Each structure stands twice: as C-alpha cells, then as structure tokens.
Amino acid sequence: MIEFEIDGKKVSASKDMTVLEVAQKEGIHIPTLCHHEKLEPFGGCRICIVEVESRGWTKLVVSCVYPAEKNIIVRTRSPKVDRIRKTIIELLMAHAPDSPQLLDLAAVYGAVPNRYEKDPSFCIHCGLCVRYCAEVAQKNALGFVDRGVHKEISFIPEIAAKECHACKECFPLCPTSYLQAVFVLTEALAFPDPAVKH
C-alpha cells in the first residue's frame, strides 16, 4: 500500500496504480482527453499534467502514466499547471476548433480559441479509436500512418468493410467526430453501400 497526498487529501493506492487512477478513485477531478478506463495508458494529450513534489523538488508529470509513489505531494491545480493546460487546449483548438470537449475545457481554463493559426486537421491524435480497435474490439481495422505533423488515422479497407458496420464502438469515443468522417470517406472510396443511391 502506497500512501501520498493529492490536493491536501491523504490517499492510498496499490502498487501498479497511476496518479490519475488514484485521483479518480478518490473523486478528485483531473481533465483527460486520451484516457479511457478500458485501455492502456497512452500519455498522448498531456492535458492531465499535474505538479508532483517529492523530497522538496517540484516537477511536472503526466498523471495518466505516472505511477503512484510513496510520500509525494500532488497538486492538480496550480497557476503553472493551469497555464500549461491552457496552452495545450489552445494548440489543440487550432486543429479542432469546434470539439465540444475542447470548448468545455477552454471555458474552465480561459483558453483563447484563436490564439494559434487555424490548421483544421480535426484529429487531435488522442489515439482512442486506434487503441480501442486494437485492445478492446481486437479488429485492428484502423491505425496511425505517417509521423509528426503528417500523422493521421487510416482504415484498412478490407477489414473495415467486414467488421465496422456491426461494431462502430469507437465512434462515440472520438472527441472531434473526425473518426466518423474518415470512416464515411473510406466507405465511399472502398466499399460503397449498394443501398445508398447516388
């Protein structure tokens, strides 16, 4: 049993829990975008960043991939944490300006939606769809392609044609609805529905 402190509250955790899991168990809210309880931690969106003080030193860590540690002091809100989250939200909003989840977060952290030049790629690379398909649905119908600023999600048409119509469990996970758009596009290009008249 590991004992430490989150926002002044004494909490206890078992060995392989992350800081985020402990906070959620204790009812302490940490915002997340790429976290899903059924999936392995990913650490993609960095919005769950928190301040950790251990042995007098303060550092910034991503709580969804940071393991619970004895005697640390976690602060989920501090001026520095809030400032970083605000910038992350602003950067993501350059890609997906109308995402409901981002709009909610922007209101909380006072993010300016137009701070950065718009680059509407709509995907924020949270990986929820890709990881859900691989880990839970186990169909591997879509994955990431390319890297860096060119990284995008892409369906394997042969698998998508067979599996996706009956599943579509990843659809509600997408914070921006970009996934649905990619699916419709893949469908139209690779396996059009014969019932739909054009």
Partner 1 sequence: MEIETIDRIIDKHHCEASNLLQIMLEIQSSNNWLPKEALKRVSERLKVPMTRIQHIATFYKAFSLVPKGRHKVHICVGTACHVRGATRILDTVEEATGIKPGETDLDMKFSLETVNCLGCCALGPVMEVDGKVHGKMSPVKTAEALKTYE
**Nearest-approach distance from CB 158 to partner 1, in angstroms:** 8
126 is a contact residue toward partner 1 (CB under 8 A): no
Structure tokens at 91: 């950067």
135-164: contacts with partner 1 (CB under 8 A): 140-147, 154, 156, 159
Element (H, E) at 142: strand 142-145
Q: What is the nearest approach in angstroms of partner 1 to the Cβ of residue 142? A: 6
Let me know the angle formed at the C-alpha of 131 by 84 and 187, rounded to the nearest 5 degrees.
110
Contacts of 30 (CB under 8 A, 6+ apart): 20, 23, 24, 48, 50, 63, 76
Instruction: Mark 85-124 with x for binding to partner 1 (rule: CB under 8 A) and - for no binding.
Output: ----------------------------------------
Q: Does 130 bind partner 1 (CB under 8 A)?
A: yes
Amino acid in position 146: D
Give the pair of three-digit tokens for residue 134. 């691989």
Where along the sequence are the contacts to partner 1 (CB under 8 A)?
Answer: 130, 133-134, 140-147, 154, 156, 159
